[in-house]
């Protein structure tokens, strides 16, 4: 069947290199088995129950039919679970993963050719590369350290690209890239310098995607409803407000105030709301049905992702590169994810979601939704961990207060709780240490998920 030009562009975007930025409207101002990868459970994508609005946006922006969109989300969910297991089992040899095509075919990279059989047996395509993901991440961290002292000129963005197994540095001038690399002490064989004329900016313009106003003037968008004990609120972009700034809702009624905010460096914040606002596990579908949030499993690079914002509503694209850094006028932000989803002023802080899995909040970028663009989002987990928050999902609309007795019989592990690497829980009569940060979901009990938990 002949694919439309839009469809061809959308599919090509799965491997294309695209940049994105911040969006707010200002002045308006261990081991239970031989291979954990084979036992990690597949998250429930809920692909058969995807909201009409999300389906419509995926069809429009990715050139998919409704059936193809459902199949893609289900495939991407399986790929995310498989990647988590392989990342653990490969350890320091892991060099990244990505999905491609409507069937979400998974490619996993390793620095050791002897891993190829294990990867293939698990159901993914194996690629042997020169540099591990840890090596590339370390190089990027060196660049980040330089940028946090002084934002580099003529360097709009840099990121780890697992597809090319390089750190990509966008540069307006080659000399600027050379100086940046030299100052950070990063070897040139780890880096690809890409010419760029981008000029990312922030767009400062309870349900994800809804508008809210800061001190009665500037407008941003809600990321995701959260709870801190019994206190309700939401996460959003850090550049939208500072601690103490009051907020009002989409209806201009008193809502709450910023309790924490980080920008630049990172770009996240959290707002505590008054009792008139009830956190719901929803993202605004803007007239096409709301999307229910069921968890926060991280989507693999190449996966489809959609954004909800108060200026432009629903728009979709793909995850391009994780662990990106971008320089705005206000300074450098690191650890964001680069996508080819468009956004405009006022969309800042809004929800990024893949299927039913929360991904992060809109930070900034370039372009617009008439001509297309690049947008970066701040991943959700760092914000939850920074402020001790719990994402509100359809299985945890009233998460327990951390001071309450454990509700899970015989242990402290609980679905709906965000765990950081190193956390120790009990389940039954055993103790387990968290291997990688995640939002616990029903069925992801420690004995069943050796990719995430190790018996101690």
Catalytic residues: 239, 267, 348
Distances (CA, A) of 200 to 35, 159, 330, 354, 456: 42, 14, 10, 24, 46
Helix orientation angle between 52-62 and 5-12, rounded to the nearest 10 degrees: 100
Reply yes or no: is the peptide bond before residue 264 cis, omega within 30 of 0: yes
Element (H or E) spanning 134, and its range? helix 133-149
Cβ proximity of 121 and 238 under 8 Å: no
361 phi, psi to nearest 5 deg: -120, 145
Give the Cα separation of 308 and 64 in Å (integer). 19
Q: Chain-centre distance of CA 157, in angstroms? A: 17
Cβ proximity of 75 and 103 under 8 Å: yes
Give the Cα separation of 340 and 288 in Å (integer). 22
Which long-range contacts link 257-261 to residues 24+ away (Cβ below 8 Å)? 259/233, 259/387, 260/386, 260/387
CB-based burial label for 2 (10 Å; 0-12, 13-18, 19+): exposed
16 phi, psi to nearest 5 deg: -75, 160
């Amino acid at each position: 069947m002949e694919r439309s030009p839009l469809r061809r562009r959308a599919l090509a975007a799965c491997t294309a290199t695209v940049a994105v930025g911040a969006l707010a409207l200002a002045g308006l101002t261990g081991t239970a088995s031989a291979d954990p990868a084979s036992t990690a459970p597949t998250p429930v994508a809920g692909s058969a129950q995807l909201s009409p609005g999300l389906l419509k946006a995926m069809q429009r922006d990715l050139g998919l039919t409704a059936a193809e969109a459902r199949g893609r989300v289900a495939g991407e969910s399986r790929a995310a679970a498989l990647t988590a297991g392989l990342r653990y089992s490969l350890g320091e040899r892991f060099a990244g993963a990505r999905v491609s095509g409507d069937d979400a075919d998974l490619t996993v990279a390793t620095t050791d050719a002897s891993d190829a059989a294990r990867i293939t047996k698990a159901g993914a395509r194996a690629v042997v590369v020169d540099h591990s993901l840890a090596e590339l991440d370390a190089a990027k961290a060196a660049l980040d350290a330089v940028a946090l002292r002084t934002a580099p000129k003529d360097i709009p963005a840099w990121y780890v690209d697992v597809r090319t197994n390089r750190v990509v540095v966008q540069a307006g001038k080659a000399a600027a890239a050379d100086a940046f690399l030299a100052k950070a002490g990063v070897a040139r064989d780890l880096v690809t310098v890409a010419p760029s004329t981008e000029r990312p900016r922030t767009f400062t313009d309870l349900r994800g995607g809804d508008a809210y106003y800061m001190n009665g003037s500037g407008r941003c968008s809600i990321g995701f409803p959260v709870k801190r004990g019994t206190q309700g609120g939401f996460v959003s972009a850090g550049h939208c407000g500072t601690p103490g700034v009051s907020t009002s809702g989409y209806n201009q009624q008193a809502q709450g105030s910023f309790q924490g905010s980080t920008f630049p460096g990172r770009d996240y914040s959290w707002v505590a709301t008054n009792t008139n606002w009830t956190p719901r596990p929803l993202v605004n579908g803007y007239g096409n049905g709301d999307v229910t949030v069921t968890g926060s499993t991280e989507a693999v690079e190449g996966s489809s992702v959609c954004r909800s914002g108060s200026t432009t509503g629903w728009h979709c694209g793909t995850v391009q590169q994780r662990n990106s850094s971008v320089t705005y006028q206000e300074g450098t932000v690191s650890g964001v994810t680069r996508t080819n989803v468009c956004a405009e002023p006022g969309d800042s802080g809004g929800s990024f979601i893949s299927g039913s899995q929360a991904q992060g909040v809109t930070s900034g970028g370039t372009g617009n939704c008439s001509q297309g663009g690049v947008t970066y989002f701040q991943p959700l987990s760092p914000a939850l961990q920074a402020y001790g928050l719990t994402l509100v999902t359809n299985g945890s609309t009233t998460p327990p207060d951390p001071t309450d007795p454990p509700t899970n019989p015989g242990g402290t592990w609980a679905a709906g709780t965000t765990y950081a690497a190193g956390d120790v829980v009990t389940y039954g009569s055993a103790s387990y240490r968290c291997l990688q940060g995640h939002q616990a979901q029903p069925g992801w009990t420690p004995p069943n998920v050796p990719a995430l938990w190790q018996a101690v």
